[in-house]
Structure 1
């Protein structure tokens, strides 16, 4: 199968725009450019509009061009001039990406390579190459390494010492055994020393702490984008004083860096740790740059946002100086003003970015105008069956079959792209029911090349819309079945557990895991062991005080409500532990009763309700959203209950908008198609009308 014919030199010579590159085809074009550039030992840098677009492009390149190595350089996941540091995993990914770019330059074997980043990441300055290239550390079995040296290296490069290593960027020392979780690696390593000699290196599971195999060597890179060695600390102190003048007594940032310890949010003063900052373009010097369609507009918005945040910080700082410190001012937990670095130190200016991207090629999804010299990537938007779906008796799969035969007759390979394994199997079943039988699973694009002339491919590839090229046609699940709004999965946590100090107000009641109910009085900075700590001040019965460091805020949860009669627990008393023990006992009694009820229910017979699988799948395909994992599990459990011979006893709980109605709709459909009546009971007339409309729309054309 042919790749897109337009080569990298032709694209660059053709001007600053490449047309005919819809989503999916753009990945094939960029991969082809990377292959051409690799012959001249050059790489391709693509600047995506945002993280979502970058992730989609990486997935498409992985499918269409697995031979192309892709490095992703993300932006910080915090706002400009924020008080919090970026997520440790994000920082680790950034350092790993920069390290890989340095390795590319030294690599004798030059392969097709693409650096993918975002506008937000490309407009921010980064740590200098010479500092990063000299900060690596590696060791092999049999090599001599001193434990104090490793400890000093890990501490200076941002690693955190713990008792048990579970997260990236942690290390533990137990005699001659050192556990380290290097940033960017899947597993931590356990280094066993005999004296000063490395006797063994074994990866281990951070959950079970059990070793898994052996390694001959290990390599470390920094966890942070700055170092806390003597030279860097002195450079920061000098730069801080030169930029902001005399340092106020009790400045927590200045004191933390001076003492060689981390401080939340210190990343926003990154330039003060170095004599000179680099840009991402310095790491990928000589690279050909391509841009998303709206990348330049996104750049303008990003730089305007940076300016707004900087000016807001300066306004608050000036107000603080004029009126004095007071509650609500832009101060830290210990009352120190936020000194914001000028944007030019941490970010590129509009002129700098324009100069660095002056020869960049913009990748455009729409067709090329009829003008000489314009470069065309050869792709166009594919067929959408919305017109067929709009007809009352429209045969979508009949039209799909006809269109696929037509595409194949023109010499194109045909690929169906679906969102997930479940939707792939569902769509295959519906296609088979419609007589489209020659559909083969494709893990990679190479698998599609092996598909015969009368066969079609189907793969998991999250494209919203398909495209047609000279050699390939892609049809997506959304093109065939209609809009499918995907939700990004997220881990959820109990709302009661606290994650931010700002979510508390003075006087709020809180519950400590070990000490019970207390009242939050505010924040206070304490010095313990020569180190300053910002702490939450909690008062208990009798006026006793407990100070909880902000880094341990997860031990606190919010108390449900305060009616003015809530009794505080006594610090160190037995009341809280006694209540916890009583609740546990009551829960055990309750659990025993529930087990008895469940056992009795298992002995009773119920009516079995079932529906034809193909008919049910056709109804399910009309759901216009991507089901969440919890929603799919709930639906499966409910349908299994209906299909069993036991009475159902299930309560489905979820927040507003999380899909409970769809669970009820599918259960109602199965029951109704099994010949029984369904009653939906709701608390209000308005809700009854809303559900009536939803049910009527979903059941339209089903005969119910």
Structure 2
């Protein structure tokens, strides 16, 4: 019996619109399919990838959508392995705030791609794809396996761990660490769930066990262990030599001296000297990957890590281009500001690709756009265009009669209907309720088989339902079945005559205005220890590399930025006078308006 996804493909191939879309997808390097939104995009991308037998790279509109898209793809592509590939939290030269968890997530995805034995789907963002990467063959060689009974030179093994980014500690507590106690070696591979404990008899691996880093107790006995590098960027001796040579050349900065900028040349030279010192001490230090451009080697993208063919899907390309242009402008301003302060060297500005060259590289393997409106991506006029008829599904608000009426209409139109719920209990209850309304439905706990006029209840998780009239397919999820819109209560927005910021209304990436410092971008809340006291601070990014930490009890100094819809404000510069001038001008305007009103 075919699995549900295979049976669905069999059903869809008999539908005229689906067959047309499949036949024409890939006819152009750049293809736009419009008319789809929300959960429809994940379903359509999965159908196309499975139909063509390709891996899938899905470029989400923003990082907040990644998990939702992964959940949808996991449902439609049960035979694929799924990974998220997040962007590094910050620009690579702001090394102190980099998230280790983000680095580990990226390594898990790379390991899955390099050593995959089944098709793979990766969900990422433009921000993550921009970062240039090392040759996948070089990274692949940085993975090692060890098995019981194998003889190894322990000192050489410890050297391998250090050269590949691991940190030696007294007790292993985090990923990327290792510890040695007599004939016992504990190591926590960044791509593993638990750390490993290798016991040696002389130079032979006597046993391998996983253990809990919290209790230090053994969990499972293993016959081999797979170790990944603790970084996605590993420099060999030749690359280190090239980097040092390039940094020495930048330290001289003859072009800056010719332009009459000796102070700037001295600052850049000082920074280059610092980086050279770090490189000579060892290949690994926070932010070492920012030196990748100095190797002078070809840069690679995530798509180069896929084994076999891959279809790349980008949702809402026009909106992504608009946000990307803002990012590129801010990136350039930040780099120039840091360059002026001597905090980066010129070569570090080559770590990220701009959107246009990025899209051109992606298009070499074929790039599919999914959007709601038929707006051809402005930067590539040769994109082909296809339309898909898609509708959203109405909310049934837990009213079985409304659902039964809709199901009867779909059955009349010879649809295949899939109702997706999260538990068998809900499935059985829904089946009984619909039977009472005169609608017979099939509960298919395992594989399902779509057929015309057939209504099935299956187990799974999807972000939303949809209706593809041209494919005679409707999907109903728990959102449509049980969601009840909450009546919004009017919250008090003013206190003592001042607008108050509601922290629950803020999400990372939102623009805010500080009464004293101007427009910044909210990045989240960090818990920081200051003089033996732990406090929560709101982190606000400003122009350049400037950051402002605002105690949560001073959130009243902030308010959410409001402007024209879709317009992105320019970030203020900390320590500058521009914001004071803007405030003074605004106050004068208000005062003049008040005078005019009084005269009236």
TM range (shorter): 0.5 to 0.7
Question: Relative CO higher for 1 or 2, CA cutoff 8 Å, sep ≥ 6?
Answer: 2
In the alignment, the residues of structure 2 paired with residue 429 and residue 56 of structure 1 have an alpha-carbon distance, to the nearest angstrom, of 27
Task: Determine if contact 2:139/2:234 at 8 Å carries over to the other structure.
Answer: no
TM-score, L = length of structure 1 = 0.56
The aligned residue for residue 178 of structure 2 is 171
In the alignment, the residues of structure 2 paired with residue 63 and residue 282 of structure 1 have an alpha-carbon distance, to the nearest angstrom, of 26
Does residue 294 of structure 1 match 2:316? Answer: yes
The aligned residue for residue 498 of structure 1 is 528
Does residue 354 of structure 1 match 2:360? Answer: yes
Distance 1:286 1:83, change over 3 A: same
Q: CA deviation at 1:210?
A: 1.9
In the alignment, the residues of structure 1 paired with residue 418 and residue 436 of structure 2 have an alpha-carbon distance, to the nearest angstrom, of 17
Distance 1:497 1:425, change over 3 A: farther
In the alignment, the residues of structure 2 paired with residue 244 and residue 199 of structure 1 have an alpha-carbon distance, to the nearest angstrom, of 51
Aligned counterparts, 1:246-265, within 5 A: 247-248=269-270, 252-260=274-282, 262-265=284-287
In the alignment, the residues of structure 2 paired with residue 364 and residue 380 of structure 1 have an alpha-carbon distance, to the nearest angstrom, of 12
In the alignment, the residues of structure 1 paired with residue 68 and residue 324 of structure 2 have an alpha-carbon distance, to the nearest angstrom, of 21
* Larger displacement relative to structure 2 (252-261 or 63-72): 252-261
Task: State the Cα RMSD in Å.
Answer: 4.5
In the alignment, the residues of structure 1 paired with residue 417 and residue 454 of structure 2 have an alpha-carbon distance, to the nearest angstrom, of 10
The aligned residue for residue 400 of structure 1 is 403
The aligned residue for residue 332 of structure 2 is 310
- Where does the alignment leave 5 or more consecutive residues of structure 2 unmatched? 1-6, 254-268, 377-383, 489-503, 509-524, 535-550, 555-600
Task: Determine if contact 1:414/1:473 at 8 Å carries over to the other structure.
Answer: yes
Task: Determine if contact 1:137/1:221 at 8 Å carries over to the other structure.
Answer: yes
In the alignment, the residues of structure 2 paired with residue 251 and residue 136 of structure 1 have an alpha-carbon distance, to the nearest angstrom, of 32
The aligned residue for residue 235 of structure 1 is 242
The aligned residue for residue 87 of structure 1 is 99
DSSP 3-state at the match of 1:381: coil
Q: Cα deviations across residues 210-248 of structure 1 (Å, max 9, x unaligned)?
A: 222222211212111223665444333222233353742
Task: Determine if contact 2:184/2:200 at 8 Å carries over to the other structure.
Answer: yes
- Where does the alignment leave 5 or more consecutive residues of structure 1 unmatched? 319-329, 331-335, 390-394, 505-509, 514-557, 562-704
Q: Cα deviations across residues 553-585 of structure 1 (Å, max 9, x unaligned)?
A: xxxxx9x99xxxxxxxxxxxxxxxxxxxxxxxx
Aligned counterparts, 1:542-561, within 5 A: none
* Alignment length (residue pairs): 467
Task: Determine if contact 2:39/2:463 at 8 Å carries over to the other structure.
Answer: yes
Does residue 461 of structure 1 match 2:442? Answer: no
Does residue 70 of structure 1 match 2:82? Answer: yes
Q: CA deviation at 1:312?
A: 3.1
Does residue 196 of structure 1 match 2:203? Answer: yes
Q: CA deviation at 1:285?
A: 8.2
Q: CA deviation at 1:147?
A: 1.3
Q: Cα deviations across residues 137-180 of structure 1 (Å, max 9, x unaligned)?
A: 11221111121112111111111122222322111111111111
Task: Determine if contact 1:54/1:117 at 8 Å carries over to the other structure.
Answer: yes
Q: Cα deviations across residues 307-344 of structure 1 (Å, max 9, x unaligned)?
A: 423333323543xxxxxxxxxxx5xxxxx633353543
Aligned counterparts, 1:300-449, within 5 A: 301-302=323-324, 304-315=326-337, 317-318=339-340, 330=341, 337-339=343-345, 341=347, 343-348=349-354, 350-357=356-363, 359-365=366-372, 375-377=386-388, 380-385=390-395, 396-417=399-420, 446-449=446-449
In the alignment, the residues of structure 2 paired with residue 158 and residue 136 of structure 1 have an alpha-carbon distance, to the nearest angstrom, of 12
Distance 1:438 1:159, change over 3 A: farther
* Larger displacement relative to structure 2 (473-482 or 169-178): 473-482
The aligned residue for residue 12 of structure 1 is 26
In the alignment, the residues of structure 2 paired with residue 191 and residue 488 of structure 1 have an alpha-carbon distance, to the nearest angstrom, of 47
The aligned residue for residue 475 of structure 2 is 474
The aligned residue for residue 31 of structure 1 is 46
DSSP 3-state at the match of 1:341: helix
Q: CA deviation at 1:195?
A: 0.8
